[in-house]
């Protein structure tokens, strides 16, 4: 049996840190958006043992039990009571790693969706999202996708009006940002008392893409010294982007355009300096099944 799932990347239109919780995690307020940049995840039942993971394009991605796709499979079997079967999981990875684009989280969500198909458990999306929340805060969003308001640790989701049609250029530099250091820097600053997320949601409902682009916000950018991120944003804005921001804990940066030719020109300029540049559009969905073979 085999199922193949398309797993999209996400960007953060906003990321406000609301405060630190007693359990050490952080409360956030953010708007997340899936975009048309995909990993392809194939899940097959095998005659082998355990879970075999391969990720040919990214040899540095772990293929042992620490990979989120293994955690996803185990959470699925534990939650549903389905007898675990040996699996082969192949990740055709296009979404850059250590980028703040939730590639790993989306791969994990894709596995839950694939197993629901293969074992015909007929779980609703909300039930699968509950499984996803067991092994990652971004994972339920990656499963459901579209445009969503996330609060709590990021797992409390509310569907919003879809982002207006536009073009989104994404650039991932080689530099990486330490998530732990970013949160520590946020903890050390005074609360700002204003949520950019609230303002951006208003612009979503007024269908004001230009106004929305002025409300893009990432708190990590404000508290960290990130010269290369700032340089990419300058390049994007000089190429007539409506707005630009870092996604998640970085280091991917994205810019919003209404005009496709301007977006393409921006992408080409960035490709002269960076290897990982993508031209995408906003999606109204998350992970989706591309094909299923149920016969043994």
Q: 276 pairs with which residues across the strands? A: 172
Long-range contacts of 203-207 (CB under 8 A, 24+ apart): 204/31, 204/147, 204/160, 204/161, 204/163, 205/160, 205/161, 207/161, 207/164
226 φ, ψ to 5°?
-130, 70
Q: Tokens for 295, please give them.
A: 């016969």
Whether residue 148 contacts residue 141, with contact meaning beta carbons closer than 8 Å, is answered with yes
Per-residue CA distances from 186 to 36, 52, 160, 220, 233 (Å): 30, 39, 27, 7, 21
Helix (H) or strand (E) holding 232: helix 227-238
Q: Which helix (H) or strand (E) holds 21?
A: none
CB 163 within 8 Å of CB 285 = no
10 is catalytic: yes
User: CB under 8 Å to 167, separation ≥6 — which residues?
Assistant: 256, 257, 258, 259, 260, 263, 279, 280, 281
The catalytically annotated residue of 16, 39, 138, 233 is: 138
CA–CA separation, 100 and 252 (whole Å): 6
Selecting among 2, 10, 71, 172, the annotated active-site residue is: 10
The whole-angstrom separation of Cα 26 and Cα 32 is 17
Gyration radius (Cα) of the chain, Å:
19
Rounded Cα–Cα distance for residues 91 and 290 (Å): 14
Active site residues: 10, 138
């Amino acid at each position: 049996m085999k199922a193949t799932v398309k797993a999209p990347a996400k960007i953060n239109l906003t990321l406000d840190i609301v405060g630190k919780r007693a359990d050490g995690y952080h409360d956030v307020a953010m708007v997340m958006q899936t975009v048309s940049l995909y990993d392809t995840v194939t899940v097959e039942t095998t005659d082998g043992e355990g879970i075999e993971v391969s990720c040919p394009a990214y040899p540095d991605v772990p293929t042992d039990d620490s990979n989120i796709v293994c955690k996803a499979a185990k959470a699925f079997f534990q939650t549903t009571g389905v007898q675990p079967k040996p699996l082969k999981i192949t990740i055709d990875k296009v979404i850059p790693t250590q980028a703040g684009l939730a590639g790993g989280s989306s791969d994990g969500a894709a596995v839950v969706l694939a197993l629901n198909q293969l074992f015909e458990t007929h779980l609703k999306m909300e039930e699968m999202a509950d499984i996803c929340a067991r092994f990652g805060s971004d994972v339920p969003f990656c499963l459901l996708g579209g445009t969503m308001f996330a609060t709590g640790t990021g797992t409390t989701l509310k569907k919003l009006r879809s982002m207006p049609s536009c073009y989104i250029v994404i650039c991932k530099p080689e530099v990486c940002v330490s998530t732990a250091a970013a949160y520590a820097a946020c903890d050390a600053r005074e609360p700002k008392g204003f949520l950019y997320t609230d303002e951006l949601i208003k612009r979503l409902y007024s269908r004001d893409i230009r106004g929305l682009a002025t409300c893009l916000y990432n708190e990590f950018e404000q508290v960290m010294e990130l010269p290369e991120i700032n340089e990419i944003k300058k390049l994007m804005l000089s190429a007539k982007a409506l707005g630009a921001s870092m996604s998640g804990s970085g280091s991917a940066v994205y810019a919003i355009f209404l005009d496709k030719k301007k977006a393409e020109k921006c992408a080409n300029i960035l490709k002269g300096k960076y290897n990982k540049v993508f031209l995408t559009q906003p999606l109204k969905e998350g992970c989706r099944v591309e094909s299923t073979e149920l016969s043994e």
